[in-house]
Structure 1
Amino acid sequence: MTASVLMKVENLSKHYKMGEVTVKALQNASFEIYKGEFVVILGPSGSGKSTLLNILGGMDKPTEGKVLLREQEVTKFSEKQLTKYRRDQIGFVFQFYNLMANLTAKENVELATEICKEPLNIDDVLRDVGLDERKNHFPSQLSGGEQQRVAIARAVAKNPLLLLCDEPTGALDYKTGIAILSLLSKINKEYKKTIMVITHNAPIAQMADRVIKMRSGKVVDNQINENQIDPERIEW
């Protein structure tokens, strides 16, 4: 059975005016993401990765081109529709965890799920990310890796169609980063969530189903990874 297309990106461009200069942050990016894929968007700083993520996540609008999620043209959505899209369809995981300091781990996750249509069971998700015994702790009582687990639980518990992760290991040491990549792999397989990880860290691409490489605002390569390895075997 052929996997269905979840997201289609067509000729996506984003240009910014900086005085008299036009910065082409993204240029004619086109690709498809299939349901259940683990995708890595790989490129150096300034390659357009974050601009792409912001548009795919409904946080910014392109200068030209289209983004379609399940045939809905996201790039034509009104602000109200984009808010609903970010709330119901997309889960976000950032480099810095963006947790509410005055809420416990469980309360941080609950806050995100209160406005969603079909959230997952919070206790189940916290258990699956390894926080069952830490769920009543505040962020200041948690390590960086544990805080990132809370952020992942918060995104997953919303039950989104697509999980967008922007440098999710960027603020973590190597050992903790590998643990977070292993967790994302587990979420991909066990929850059957489509995951996109944006990173400059080339070895992370070894665990992906699909690797999309960017340079100078352009997609320069889009390949299925035939030789995937487990996150535990990644070294950098």
Structure 2
Amino acid sequence: MTETLFTEDAYLREATARVVAADERGVVLDRTNLYARSGGQPGDSGTLRWDGGEATVAEAIKGEAVTGQSGAILHTLAPGSAIPPVGAEVTLGLDWARRHRHMRMHTTLHLLCSVLPGIYATGNQIGAEKSRLDFDLPDPPAKEWFTEKLAELVAADHPISTTWITEAELDANPQMVRTLSVQPPRGAGRIRLVRIGAEAAPVDLQPCGGTHVASTGEIGRVEVLKLESKGRQNRRIHIVLPE
């Protein structure tokens, strides 16, 4: 299993690790600060440096299907990149600008959930340039309403934190799961919750393994670009982060 350093510190831009396995498919390390593609959030990119070599990481992905190792994260390499030797100590550099936009986008999608209490998300996709969230919502408000509500939540600069509960606790509180398309990963015995706002009265609280900013004020300006109909009730909300 690859230790996921980003789970506890989403702001860790550089880390050292040791190569567990490496070939043309990519590199598996004993730990990583690069998020592996999951739950609609793209995998991180970056660099690997070691004594005598350097490689570009195209994307970090879940590597169990490729390596046969449960919990492994595979750092896929750009074509032509050198491959580090097994056992080598490497320095992992994160493409921070790209990751930070993903963090801002992902947190914004949580805020979208918070302004539609009781409405389930049916799909999502996070990107550095634009993102979208689908809802089971036959008659949505206008896009300007969403933009205004998000602006209020960003301006309030709510703190964002994480906590852990058991799988049994989640089973006893199924309303915490706001997405129908992505379910919290199970098997480890505990579930990570992302909380936006105060512990006593959170703005949003739901299971999530992704990376997020430390407070809503860090998101900056958000604009709902458009709303699309994707079926009789499914509505797709597109967001961007104008500079």
Which structure shows the higher helix fraction? 1
Q: Is the pair's TM-score, using the shorter chain for normalization, greater than 0.5? A: no
TM-score interval (norm. to shorter) = under 0.3
What is the TM-score of this pair, normalised by structure 2? 0.23
Which structure shows the higher strand fraction? 2
Structure with more contact order per residue of length (Cα contacts < 8 Å, sep ≥ 6)? 1
